[in-house]
Amino acid sequence: MGARLVMCALLLSVTNAPVPALNTELPDLGNSAGSLMTPKRERDLGKAFMRSVRRSEKVMDDPVLSDYIQSLGQRLVDNSEARGTSFNFFLIDDPQINAFAGPGGYIGIYTGLFLTTETESELAAVVAHEIAHVTQQHLLRAWETTANLSVPNAAILLAAVVLGATVGGDAAAAAAVGGQAALIQQQINFTRANEKEADRVGIDILATSGFEPRAMPSFFSRMSKANRVYASKLPEFLMTHPVTTSRTADALGRAEQFPYRQTPEDLRYHLAHTNLMQRRIDRPEDAVRELTLMLEDGRYRNESAVIYGIALAEIRAKRFDIAATHLDRLLESQPETTEFLVARATVDAENGHYRAALDRLSDALARTPGSYALNIAFAETALAAGNPNRAMQQLMEFQNYRSDEPRVYRLLSRAAGDLDQQAQGHKYLSEYYYLIGSLKQAILQLEIALKRPELDFYESSRLESRLAELRDELDEEERKRSAKP
């Protein structure tokens, strides 16, 4: 289990050092990470790491939830030493209580952890802790041991170690690099020793961002109680992430340096929490029943969130008229809430009212053109309405905001296919497969695209060049995979 903890930065270790005055400066520990990890290599490594994560984990593809976790993370980054740096936050659909940071500012939060939090400040505490590992360069000190590897294989190794991958090509490739894994393991203890620094800096980020800094020790305290409740049947997370009284006290001491504030809860946190909760209930009818009982009994933190959860479950049950009634009620008081607008547009589209759905989404996009959720909903609705040109135009504009979302390329491929642009469709589908880590499928799509007669010389040359890059990457992976440890 030790390998799984390289960068799972939540609650990893405990120290008994006295609480110093709040200070975000770290001493010079004499590491060479800064000289070995150039910004470009870190960006490239981050993208390759994310492809490996998508191969190994159930990265959530829900645009509304993705929008929320990205906005929360960005708010924290903007109030940290990393202000102005690109970070990518994402959810992994897995019940385990965990989180991790990877190269290039890629930070993953497991849905099990999200659902364990009781307030947005607690969730923000976890994310701020991960950001602190990045700003304090704790992670670079571990990654420097991969400096002699190519970017694809360094990313595979890191992903396999971080995620504890035990099956599939990534694990085989990671095993093939032999001693590199042992070198990274040596860095794990160093990272654990710096958990107190991530706690302290994370608390500072929380306070600066307008969250309640005591949320971090509050979350620690509940984890400690779980330790006592589970006893011999301790869940894996609690066995590998010790939460002790001393660590909780240390975090509380740091948080007490800030004045207490009554932090208003962001509606979007409650909407995302309820969305995840209703998703966990397989039968939508059961989800409706459970949420309705919560509403009747007053067992909720936010009434609008429970009504929203009921509407989502009704959509899953294909009872669109009932869902529309709930959503219209919500939109009366909160007409600009993205979650409600996207869900209502979904109901319109399912009922064949495409014009109403597109108008609703278009108005919202005029206010927030960079919203991933709104752009995806608009493109999917336009495609369903038989208007691939509008979908293509919207998606191309959105790429100015985010250019590495797999779902965007999948929709671009559909739009191109509907417009009879077959070569372009296969090109976009290739990028989709590449981003989700399916390298062989990405190569196959480019090979198909190059056989299309409509390609001109310049486009053909670009595709040939891209195909050569992907083939080289595949060859390198396969050489490592077949090598002996």
* Catalytically active residues, by annotation: 130, 199
Q: Which residue stretches of 298-353 are H helix?
A: 303-316, 320-333, 338-350
The answer to whether residues 439 and 470 touch, using CB atoms and an 8 Å cutoff, is yes
Cβ neighbours of residue 365 closer than 8 Å, sequence gap 6 or more? 371, 374, 375, 378, 394
Task: State how far the Cα of 200 lies from the Cα of 139, in Å rounded to an integer.
Answer: 16
The answer to whether residues 432 and 424 touch, using CB atoms and an 8 Å cutoff, is no
Residue 108: in which H helix or E strand, if any? strand 106-110
* Phi and psi angles of residue 221, each rounded to the nearest 5 degrees, phi first: -60, -45
The answer to whether residues 419 and 392 touch, using CB atoms and an 8 Å cutoff, is yes
Give the DSSP per-residue string, 164-209. Answer: T--SHHHHHHHHHTTHHHHHHHHHHHHHHHTHHHHHHHHHHHHHHT
- Structure tokens of 118? 């009781």
The answer to whether residues 140 and 32 touch, using CB atoms and an 8 Å cutoff, is no
The answer to whether residues 248 and 221 touch, using CB atoms and an 8 Å cutoff, is yes
